[in-house]
Amino acid sequence: MEILIYGTVNSFKLILIAFGFTLVYGVSRLPNFAHGAIFVFTGFVAWIMMHKLNLPFIPAALLSLVSAALVGVLIYQVILKRIRGMNMNEIIATYAIGVAMIETFRWLGFKGTTFTLPVLFEGMVFIGDVPVDYQRLMVVAVGLVMLVAVWVFTKFTKTGLALRGIAQDERAAMMLGIDSDMTATLAMALGSAMSGLAALMLFPLGSIVVEAGYNTLIFALAVCMVGGIGSWGGTVLAAFVLGFLQVITVSYLATHFQMVVTLGAIIATLIIKPSGFFGKHKELEERV
């Protein structure tokens, strides 16, 4: 029972962390390795707004989400736009930006465990005989709302449909008047905001530490690779598989094996089915 509940919570945690990454890659084939840095960035921005500018939590959270989206837009407009299509360069550039962001925070003195975000609702409930605090239930709820929101957005709005079009065949979408730069910018903004949302939901469970930036990136990558990079359904499925694996590892082995299992899953995926659960290797474009 405990494994079931905490496994579910942990799975939604991974969904929150990974979905933004997979969205950006799925739509625009951009691997955003600054994903983890944006996660930490949002946490610190929210903290600064609350403690230096004395804003209440909700406006601080909203503002930090907006700034996360802005960082995403900036990364695309200033850098990625110029190197788009060269995967290795995209990875190196975004990873470098990520490291720079994280290490800047460390350099500015944001280290240790003194930085915390408040939970939205205090208290806990018992499900069966397992105690679960409200914040963890919120993680599940927000994760579900996010998935439903993305589904509605991409099914029923014009812009969302444009994203689906670009994701499946960029040039065919261009022929219909869809601007690839616009959709990529939008995807980066949304993906970064999702990473920020994950931060706002997850940091209250512990404290804001810079190292979380690296761990988050690795978790996001693991989920995306196991699920098939860019596949939205695969991401959700992989989040559940890894989510439960991690919880089982923690309860039967030890906490620090969590990362080993996660990385092991990447390696196992690469050996058994390199494209992941639902991944597809796009065929090379034929010559005209």
Partner 1 sequence: MLVAEGLMVFYENMLALNNISIKCGENQIIGVFGANSAGKSTLMYTLSGIILDQMKKEKMRGGEQITVMGEISLFDQDISSLKPHLRARRGIVLCPERRRLFPESSVLENLKIGAYMATKKEAKETLDYVLEIFSPLKKLLHRSAGFLSGGEQQMAAIGRALMAQPKLLLLDEPLLGLSPAYQQVVMESVKRIREMKKISIIITEQFARPVIPIVDYAYIMENGSRVMSGSGQELLDNPDVKAAYFGV
By the criterion CB under 8 A, which residues form the site for partner 1? 83-86, 155, 158, 161-162, 164-165, 168-169, 171-180, 288
Q: How many Cβ atoms from other residues are within 10 Å of residue 174's Cβ?
A: 13
DSSP-derived 3-state class of residue 244: helix
* Least Cβ distance, residue 40 to partner 1 (angstroms): 31
* Least Cβ distance, residue 38 to partner 1 (angstroms): 25
- DSSP class of 127: E
Cα gap 42→192, rounded to integer Å: 9
* Least Cβ distance, residue 219 to partner 1 (angstroms): 26
25 vs 203 by CB, closer to partner 1: 25
Q: Which long-range contacts (CB under 8 A, 24 or more apart) does 60-65 make?
A: 61/200, 64/196, 64/200, 65/193, 65/196, 65/197, 65/200
- DSSP class of 287: P
Burial status of residue 10 (CB atoms within 10 A of its CB: 0-12, 13-18, 19 or more): buried
- Is 204:141 a contact under the CB 8 Å cutoff? no
181 vs 211 by CB, closer to partner 1: 181
46 vs 224 by CB, closer to partner 1: 224
180 vs 207 by CB, closer to partner 1: 180
* Least Cβ distance, residue 131 to partner 1 (angstroms): 42
- Is 20:35 a contact under the CB 8 Å cutoff? yes
52 vs 287 by CB, closer to partner 1: 287
* Least Cβ distance, residue 172 to partner 1 (angstroms): 4
Q: Which long-range contacts (CB under 8 A, 24 or more apart) does 258-263 make?
A: 259/215, 259/218, 262/218, 262/219, 262/222, 263/218, 263/222
85 vs 109 by CB, closer to partner 1: 85
* Least Cβ distance, residue 226 to partner 1 (angstroms): 20
